[in-house]
A and B are shown apart, each in its own frame.
Chain A
Amino acid sequence: MTTTLEPARTPAPIEEEQPRTVLPPSRRTGRKLLVVLALWLLAWATLRGRQTLVLANADTTGLHEWFNDLRDKVQVLGQDNWFFHGVLGTVATALDDFVGFLQDHLSAVTPGDYVGWFGVLALAAWVTYGLAGLRSTLLVSAVLLYLGVGGLWTDGLDTLIVTLVAVVICIVIGLPLGIAMSRSRRTSSLLTPVLDVMQTMPSFAYLTPISLFFGIGPACAIVLTLVYALPPLVRITEHGLNSVGENTVEAGRSLGVTKGQLLRQVQLPMAKRTIVVGINQCTMAALSMATIAALVNGPGLGKPVVAALQTLNVGAASVAGLGIVFIAIMLDRTTTAASERSAPGGQRVAAVGSPGIFGGRTLVLEKLPRWATEEGGRGATAKRLTPGGRRLVLGALLVPALLAAFYSTRYLQLSEFPDLSGVPVIGELTAGPLGGHINDITDAVVNAISG
């Protein structure tokens, strides 16, 4: 070993992340304000009177025209350009085909080869029971039955399909993005404004360009949904990873973890709760695009809502709108319950992330059935099956589920949801009467107000 020691040598630099340096901010506020003011004055002096005045309705500026030219070019090029036709076209076709495939098998009413409503209900209940538990199963069944009774079966399932496909794509894209942002401050500061734009740009503004690129239909609906639903997932993932305790990360580093090990064995498990919240938010955002997706011929519950709005039929719009709300509740509670179940010992991880700070969820959803999540309701204290026992029960239940699926391909009654409007009580819930009631109430209120 060396015996001569140079006292002040700078160590070999390594890439490993250092604890953030917190220093008191330098106070130069006054100077910064002056610079901003000077820039404003300069802009005013040079741009005064040029394209800064009020436009008449049909007037356009250079900027408007440039955008419109661009649109025309894309439209002309679109036929054989490698990017627009080759790449985007392929993506669009693949998405359309995939959604079409799911629609054929799950939502379309085509007795003979494909699973009917009864089979879908049974399979959905089985999957939910396996992943999330009994309460969630009841909730899922109730929501699916509401869709069937309300005459919204096909549209409702289409919404589910489009939403789930969009969420899966969001997860595939969003998780790596969130991870990249939490790792590098530069990536984070590059992507943050992009996410801001995606989230705040009114969807009507990018409706047309996207439909230009992807053609109208399911693919366009999914891409629209992606634009709006991706940012919350990315942001919350980044936040979740960043808020994993410094102490734990430091302990990991002191044991010599690689970056990959740190991510897989420390950060991701500890941020899991928060990431699930991100996925929930992503799902809710995706559902909130359902009506807008209908404008570009996206399949789903948005269609009856838009159609009803065009005829000012508040009742019919509300029935379909309620369907969206119920689907939202169902997805939220089920994913939460599923994540709680898979966490080792439940509440343990709860202290890590604090999902409570995300106000994104609407108040209504907060207040609606908490009991449906196993942890929130009495499910937490109820006796649980052992893992082995649960697997046994699940295996046994698969038989009736498969039988239901099989018979639903044979019998019309099990394939197409029966019309229950003639049945007492339940009949009141079908689209016609329920919509009628809501219309009556609306009319009464409107009359009362306008006197």
Chain B
Amino acid sequence: MTDLAVDRATTPETDPSSSALCVRGLWKVFGPNAEKLVGTPDLELSRQELQAKSGHVIGVRDVSFDVAPGEVFVVMGLSGSGKSTLVRLITRLIEPTAGTVLLGGDDLTAMGEEQLREIRRRKVSMVFQHFGLLPHRKVIDNIAFGLEVRGEDKGARRGRAQEMVDLVGLSGYEQNYPDQLSGGMQQRVGLARALAGDPAVMMFDEPFSALDPLIRRDMQKEVIRLHHEVGKTMVFITHDLDEALKLGDRILIMRDGAIVQVGAPDEIIGAPADEYVRDFTAEVPKSHVLTLRWVMRQPASADEGAGAPALPDTTVVREAARAVLAADGPVRVVDSSGTVVGVVDDEDILRVVVVEHHDDSSPAAGS
């Protein structure tokens, strides 16, 4: 399988000017003399070593990636791995120590205060883990706050805010105050506030981790729905792998401030870059994520599986299972152009499904 692994972590291949967001060589070092450390060998040290030596803490270490327009880009990592810092560096809520951020082609890191404010008002918005709502304002005025800040008149912003209220399903609660709403509803307000300014890119910093599981699932569906409806580019931070797999077109995994792996969900599961990622993904039901591309083998002869219907290589194993098991022999796998790229038989499918089943049942039942 590993021979198919695509290592995208080191070389972002997209053209920077066509991507919605382009991050290059981004660093954040917390501490009094962070700027002076740039370019010194000290930055090669590990986090713990640097902290012991000079008292500086590395928040984000040399991160580069691109996000395509309309993509949902998920950033994952354990607590303290620098996710929140990364997402704040992008809009300079935290000032980067080094590096560049291009948003829709504009260099944010070279901007003055005035320009940056304009970008935050119109181009990017953010949804926070702890909502960050204004307790003294009604729901509708919270949602309209961003519009008010950029100077829209009352009629226009009320109208737009009302649209957002309806979009996120809060109709009837416009006149309530935030603390009269449940956590899930408060986060809908946060979502509506972020959407109200019609930004090009939306960022989410663990928006649902303060919510209970059922509400969280609702809200994830809500985000997927909104993504279909408004088609925004999204950068989504989470430490929940299920959430990442459900939402992400691509996933970036961080450890100690640095990138460990970037890739589509099936790449992360099918070809984990190292033990850290493997541990991270150990619990995931692989048949739900892996596509046929990851389980097929080279046909033994040119006409192997010729009798059965062909399946696209992007089919998820779980969905292909019935068709493959029903077929008498191996089934052909074709890529988007219709070329045969491999075959799968019952054995290949069962290896994924059964091994996983074996993993799931108690260890006592095995061996």
Which residues of chain A have a CB within 8 Å of any CB of chain B?
Answer: 1-3, 5-16, 18-19, 21, 23-24, 26, 245, 247-248, 250-258, 261, 265-266, 269-270, 272, 343-345, 348-349, 351-352
Contact = CB atoms under 8 A, between A and B. Distances in A.
B105 interface: yes
A251 B112 contact: no
Contacts of A15: 113
B135 A18 contact: no
A24 B55 contact: yes
Contacts of A256: 116-121, 146, 149-150
Contact of A23 (B17, B57, B132, B150): B57
Contacts of A272: 136
Contacts of B24: 5, 7
A21 B31 CA distance: 7
Nearest to A16: B113
Given A15-B113, A254-B120, A5 B128 contact: no
Contact of A351 (B31, B145, B179): B179
Nearest to B18: A1
Contacts of B135: 248, 270, 348-349, 351-352
Given A344-B136, A344-B177, A348-B179, A254 B25 contact: no
Contacts of B99: 7-9, 11
B301 to A, nearest CB: 48
13 contacts: A1-B102, A6-B100, A7-B64, A9-B99, A10-B38, A11-B109, A14-B116, A247-B131, A248-B135, A255-B121, A256-B150, A258-B117, A269-B136
B130 interface: yes
B45 interface: no
Nearest to B56: A23
A19 B197 CA distance: 25
A343 B179 CA distance: 14
Contacts of B148: 265
Contacts of A21: 30-32
B107 interface: yes
B17 A12 contact: no
Would you call the interface of chain B mostly helix, strand, loop, or mixed? mixed
Contacts of B112: 12, 14
A348 B102 CA distance: 41
B5 interface: no
Contact of B125 (A5, A23, A248, A255): A255
A269 B134 contact: yes
A1 B149 contact: no
A384 B206 CA distance: 42
A349 B121 contact: no
A130 B179 CA distance: 28
Contacts of B145: 252, 255, 265
Contacts of B125: 254-255
Contacts of B91: 254
A10 B98 contact: yes
A255 B149 contact: yes
A265 B144 CA distance: 13
A247 B178 CA distance: 14
B233 interface: no
Contact of A251 (B30, B102, B109, B133): B133
The 9 closest A-B CB pairs, nearest first, are A251-B132, A7-B25, A256-B120, A256-B121, A11-B109, A1-B105, A255-B146, A254-B126, A247-B132
Nearest to A255: B146
B215 interface: no
A345 B117 contact: no
A5 B177 contact: no
Given A7-B25, A8-B25, A26-B55, A19 B132 contact: no
B95 interface: yes
Interface in B93-115: 93-100, 102, 105-107, 109-113
B41 interface: no
A261 B118 CA distance: 14
Interface string B45-60: 0000001000111000
Contacts of B126: 251, 254
B35 interface: yes
Nearest to B25: A7
Contacts of B39: 8
A14 B112 CA distance: 7
A148 B251 CA distance: 77
A341 to B, nearest CB: 14
Nearest to B124: A254
Interface string B295-314: 00000000000000000000
A18 B24 CA distance: 22
Contacts of A9: 98-100, 109
Interface in B179-202: 179, 190, 193, 197
A272 B16 CA distance: 47
Contacts of B146: 255-256
A23 B31 contact: yes
A4 B131 CA distance: 38
A351 B135 CA distance: 9
A45 to B, nearest CB: 36
Contacts of B197: 255
A10 B179 CA distance: 41
B27 interface: yes
B216 interface: no
B17 A14 contact: no
B94 A19 contact: yes
A21 B109 CA distance: 20
A154 B197 CA distance: 60
